[in-house]
Amino acid sequence: MRSILALVFCLAACKGDPVKCDQGCRNYFALRYWEKTEPEIAKAPAEQRDALRKAKQAELKSKIEGGIALCVSQCQSANHTEDIDCMVNAKTAAQTDKCFK
């Protein structure tokens, strides 16, 4: 019985930080999304860009909420602190490429 409890506590302790995983996943999704979306917005007529950007922001929010739980779960299970920190600190989509090498 003690060994089972010890294993449960160890497995719980071996998981990545859920808050950092959430931050990293959200940042990763957003950077990737805007990398693909900004050229589309730039091609739109100037008077339509603000409305298009607002619509894309709402779309991003929906996409993030739809995939965040899985991303955080996988991030926690992997427990790669350096990758998590990299995803949190990335400022460009290109920087996120370096997080998993």
3-state helix, strand, coil in the chain (%, to 5): 85, 0, 15
**For residue 3, is it within any domain?**
no
**For residue 91, is it within any domain?**
yes
Instruction: Check if the beta carbon of residue 60 is closer than 8 Å to that of residue 35.
Output: no
**For residue 10, is it within any domain?**
no
Q: How many domains does the chain have?
A: 1
pLDDT of residue 17: 93
pLDDT tens sequence across 82-95: 999 999 999 999 99
Among residues 55, 54, 51, 59, the alpha carbon closest in space to that of 33 is found at 59
pTM for this prediction:
0.81
**For residue 53, is it within any domain?**
yes
